[in-house]
Amino acid sequence: MNAPAPAVPAIDWARVREDFPLLRRTVHGKPLVYFDSANTGQKPAAVIEATDAFYREHNANVSRAVHALGSEATEAYEGARRKLAAHVNVRADELVLTSGTTFAINLVAYSWALPRLGPGDAILLTRMEHHANIVPWQLVAARTGAEVRVVDITPEGALDLDALQAAMTPDVKLLGVVHVSNVLGTVNPVREICRMARKRGIATLVDGSQALPHMPVDVAAIGCDFYALTGHKMCGPTGTGALWARREHLEAMPPFLGGGEMIREVSFEGTVFNDPPHRFEAGTPNIAGHVGLGTAVDYLDGIGMAAIAAREAELLAHLQEEMRRVDGLRIIGTAPDKAAVVSFLVEGAHAHDLATLLDLEGVAVRSGHHCAHPLMDFFGVPATCRASLAFYNTHAEIEAFIAALQKVRKLLA
Ligand code: PLP
């Protein structure tokens, strides 16, 4: 006889939603339907309270003062690093705390790529990258003579793995790939992609901004060289995030910014830099923010990322099913493996008009190019609307969104 399947603990999602104070508010006299979590996530009370408690009870600078508060602040900050590292299964001393993904990618661009690349080298990107994983490489290319190349996607919005493999020529030194697209929701098979790249001696940078909020992420198992993440999309405060890099890269990388914290000894004859990760954390960091991010990690782990992924898959299935019933609505991004991010357009309506009218119904969706101009060009549109969900959203909100969409569509027709 087969052993019974392990019981999946039932989660009371209505209870979970109560952890988010902001979700109780109204907008234009209507209950808020917050479908813009890919832009920034809402924060549970535990995160708000942890940040508040840091300032009320422990506030001091880190790694400087010997007094009690200094030790408490340092321990809280380093504790957050350890929590985040454990959450993504990496060593804490390989995790540089940053202001977010943008800083993390720029750190790789300036500290790792700039001294290494030159004419004849190529940086390979995909069509679905966020500007944060495009522009730093253009700046590096302009300064080194290296070339930026792009791999295209399928009309469904998935990566063409054959094309990607074919583009991995010997001159490619770095591949930058997004784990989950912020526009299409496509989940890229980053483990397979990094294996392909590694075989060819190509370093890999994965932009994990939109993966961390939705699913368990095991960075060690992905096998990349660099993994960038942002805190504010995963229930943490804004201005938080991290870069994970293999220790051998961090050891070899010169500092990006100079200042306090990143040195061991300074004289006018020369400076001895600190060891990584502190070598890359010049100046006073966002201490309270990262303490809040540590609490966000505890909060997400308390629910369980696998449970969050399952809940969101169920919400996404409901949302897409309902959206497909709306006349004239086109979903952009229909790859089979998708996170709860749905870009769409309604025939005859501009994305901004749609989002503005939806807002009057209490529904917050983002409209625009989503910091992904090349992707808009690929689909031949200037902008889309994007409904992006999190585990704290509800089936009732999906119904309210569809009702609002139907109403707005008629107004714009
Ligand atoms: N990469 C992706 C895929 C994103 O969605 C975002 C934010 O929208 C970023 C990078 C930039 O993150 P941050 O603004 O936190 O630096």
Mutate to test the pocket of ligand 1, among 107, 187, 210, 229 (most ligand atoms within 8 A of CB): 210
Residue range 203-244, pLDDT digits in tens: 999 999 999 999 999 999 999 999 999 999 999 999 999 999
Q: How would DSSP label each residue in 75-94?
A: HHHHHHHHHHHHHTT--GGG
Let me know the angle formed at the C-alpha of 182 by 178 and 186, rounded to the nearest 5 degrees.
Answer: 65
Q: What is the pLDDT of residue 5?
A: 58
Q: Does ligand 1 have an atom closer than 6 angstroms to the CB of 188?
A: no
Regions in the chain scoring below 70 on pLDDT: 1-9
88 Cα–ligand 1 center, Å = 18
Mutate to test the pocket of ligand 1, among 106, 209, 226 (most ligand atoms within 8 A of CB): 209
Which tokens belong to 411? 């107004």
Which tokens belong to 11? 């989660």
d(Cα 241, Cα 290) in Å, to the nearest integer?
A: 8
> What pTM was computed for the model?
0.96
283 Cα–ligand 1 center, Å = 23
Tell me the pairing of strands 263-267 and 241-245.
unpaired
d(Cα 231, Cα 294) in Å, to the nearest integer?
A: 9
d(Cα 71, Cα 65) in Å, to the nearest integer?
A: 7
d(Cα 22, Cα 8) in Å, to the nearest integer?
A: 29
Q: Does ligand 1 have an atom closer than 6 angstroms to the CB of 182?
A: yes
Domains and CATH numbers, the chain: 13-42+304-412 (3.90.1150.10), 48-301 (3.40.640.10)
In sequence order, the 6+-apart residues with CB closer than 8 A to the CB of 2 are none
- Choose among 110, 90, 124: nearest CA to 227: 90
d(Cα 344, Cα 351) in Å, to the nearest integer?
A: 8
The yes-or-no answer on residue 224 being catalytic is no
Q: What is the pLDDT of residue 1?
A: 46
Q: What is the pLDDT of residue 261?
A: 75
Q: Find the Cα–Cα–Cα–Cα dihedral 261, 292, 206, 183, rounded to 10°.
A: -140
Sign of the alpha-carbon torsion through 412, 332, 104, 304? positive
Tell me the pairing of strands 122-126 and 147-151.
parallel
